[in-house]
């Protein structure tokens, strides 16, 4: 026993486990910046995107300058209030979705070339001035904002606008335009307090006449827009007529189905009544037969 205990005492002690290795610290991977994403696009796509945002891509010689300008324009759009952008869209009568982003709204605003600012509030004029590259301040009055916006237009653009306005006036007299197209209906009117009080946004400017459309888009563009609007109005009218006809047909089908259902229910109730009366008659006959079978022989035998 002593030898065994000695051998047991001489056993080596267990080796302690090695400590785990220290964790390797990895630097966080930075997110892809919008500017880096733009830098990966080809030159032609960058120019198309700049044109959508209202920038002149010919002013930027290198791709880096164009990417920086687009990045600055995106930051500028992100800093403008959405309500101000919607006001400008409503004033310019551009079609947008209710869930459109600020950049999508700004791209629609970039297509507005009108220099008649009736219907825009101070907030809308400031937003439009920022998008058109006009340096304005938050406290500038409305007349000063309109003056700065008009000064932004070059002399050649003013001459071209006057020429297009004269052509539009001649075309308007030739076709004898009297009625204006339908009012703008893409966005609902927004109130300042969110309720039914007085609207904080001025009403949109009147619908474009053919003269104004030619003045803004030229002869071909104005006539094309008018034909497109007339075609859209005609199609909408025909679609409304088709929808009303379908509704009438559906109502007639529902009425006939209701009549057939009532007749079917009446027939089933009639069949149930006949079945019930037949069951009652059969039951009565059975009772009479059982009574006669039980008591009539006894009476006769008696």
For 276-292, b where at least 16 C-beta lie within 10 A, e where not — what string?
eeeeeeeeeeeeeeeee
Per-residue confidence band for 144, with pLDDT thresholds at 50, 70 and 90: confident
Mean pLDDT of 16-23: 54
**What pLDDT score does 29 carry?**
40
Q: Which of the pair, 212 or 103, is modelled with greater confidence? A: 103
The distance between the two most distant Cα atoms of the chain, rounded to a whole number of Å, is 136
Confidence of residue 24 (pLDDT cuts 50, 70, 90): very low
- Given a cut of 70, whether residue 195 has pLDDT beyond it is no
- What pLDDT was estimated at residue 120? 82
- Give the pLDDT of residue 301: 63
The pLDDT score that the predictor gives to residue 10 is 54
Q: Please compute the mean of the pLDDT values over residues 174-186 and round it to a whole number.
A: 58
**pLDDT score, position 253:** 93
Q: In the predicted model, what is the mean pLDDT of residues 17-43?
A: 56
For range 148-175, the mean pLDDT: 75
pLDDT at res. 185: 54
- Give the C-alpha separation, 8 to 73, whole Å: 82
What's the whole-number average pLDDT of the chain?
75
């Amino acid at each position: 026993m002593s030898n065994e205990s000695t051998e047991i005492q001489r056993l080596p002690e267990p080796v302690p486990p090695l400590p785990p290795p220290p964790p390797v610290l990895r630097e966080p991977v930075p997110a892809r910046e919008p500017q880096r994403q733009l830098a990966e696009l080809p030159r032609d796509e960058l120019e198309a995107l700049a044109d959508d945002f209202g920038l002149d891509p010919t002013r930027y010689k290198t791709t880096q300058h164009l990417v920086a300008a687009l990045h600055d324009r995106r930051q500028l759009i992100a800093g403008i209030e959405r309500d101000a952008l919607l006001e400008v869209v409503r004033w310019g009568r551009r079609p947008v979705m209710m869930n459109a982003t600020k950049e999508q709204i700004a791209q629609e605003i970039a297509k507005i070339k009108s220099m008649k600012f009736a219907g825009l509030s101070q907030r809308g004029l400031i937003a439009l001035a920022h998008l058109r590259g006009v340096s304005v301040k938050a406290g500038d009055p409305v007349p000063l904002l309109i003056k700065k916006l008009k000064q932004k237009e070059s002399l050649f653009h003013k001459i071209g606008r006057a020429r297009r306005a004269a052509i539009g006036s001649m075309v308007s007299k030739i076709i004898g335009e009297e009625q204006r197209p339908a009012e703008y209906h893409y966005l609902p009117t927004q109130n300042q307090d969110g309720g039914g009080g007085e609207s904080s946004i001025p009403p949109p400017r009147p619908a474009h006449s053919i003269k104004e459309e030619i003045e803004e888009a030229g002869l071909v563009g104005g006539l094309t827009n008018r034909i497109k609007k007339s075609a859209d109005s005609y199609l909408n009218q025909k679609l409304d007529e088709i929808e009303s006809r379908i509704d009438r047909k559906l109502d007639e089908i529902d009425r006939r189905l209701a009549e057939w259902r009532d007749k079917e229910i009446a027939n089933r109730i009639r069949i149930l009544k006949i079945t019930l009366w037949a069951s009652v008659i059969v039951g009565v006959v059975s009772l009479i037969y059982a009574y006669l079978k039980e008591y009539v022989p006894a009476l006769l035998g008696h």
